[in-house]
């Protein structure tokens, strides 16, 4: 999925890039520069759906001037229609107490 990537704490602009994968609670996104664990990034699909903020959990170099950053979305699940189209219907979450009983 093509996205705009920006540091949430900065107004320096965005980077046009793409995701390697997206799950219900995170994403792997490519960047032209390294990110530090703990930084907050904002990614927005080109389809102009809502932006999501995620915390960087890892950053690894993938060649010259290319980095794969792992983002975790702690404030909720990914709600982009493009993701939901391929992920299928969201599963119902059953509280742990009900699973044990």
Q: Please state, in angstroms and rounded to a whole number, the distance separating the CA atoms of residues 43 and 52.
A: 6
Domain ranges of the chain: 2-100
The pLDDT value recorded for residue 93 is: 45
**Please, what CATH class does the domain formed by 2-100 belong to?**
mainly beta
pLDDT per position in the chain (101 positions), as tens? 888 899 987 767 789 999 888 777 788 999 999 999 999 998 888 876 677 888 999 999 998 889 999 999 876 666 655 554 445 545 444 454 444 44
Residues whose CB falls within 8 Å of the CB of residue 55, separated by 6 or more in sequence, listed in order = 38, 39, 40, 41, 71, 72, 74
The pLDDT value recorded for residue 88 is: 54
Q: pTM for the complete prediction?
A: 0.71
Q: Please state, in angstroms and rounded to a whole number, the distance separating the CA atoms of residues 16 and 3.
A: 6
The pLDDT value recorded for residue 99 is: 41
Question: Where do we find the tokens 């540091």?
Answer: 7
């Amino acid at each position: 999925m093509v996205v705009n990537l920006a540091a949430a704490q900065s107004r320096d602009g965005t980077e046009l890039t793409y995701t390697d994968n997206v799950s219900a609670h995170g994403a792997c996104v490519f960047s032209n520069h390294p990110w530090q664990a703990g930084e907050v990034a904002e990614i927005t699909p080109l389809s102009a759906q809502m932006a999501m903020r995620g915390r960087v959990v890892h950053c690894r170099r993938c060649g010259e001037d290319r980095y794969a950053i792992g983002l975790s979305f702690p404030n909720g699940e990914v709600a982009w229609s493009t993701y939901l189209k391929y992920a299928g219907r969201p599963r119902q979450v059953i509280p742990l107490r009900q699973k044990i009983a």
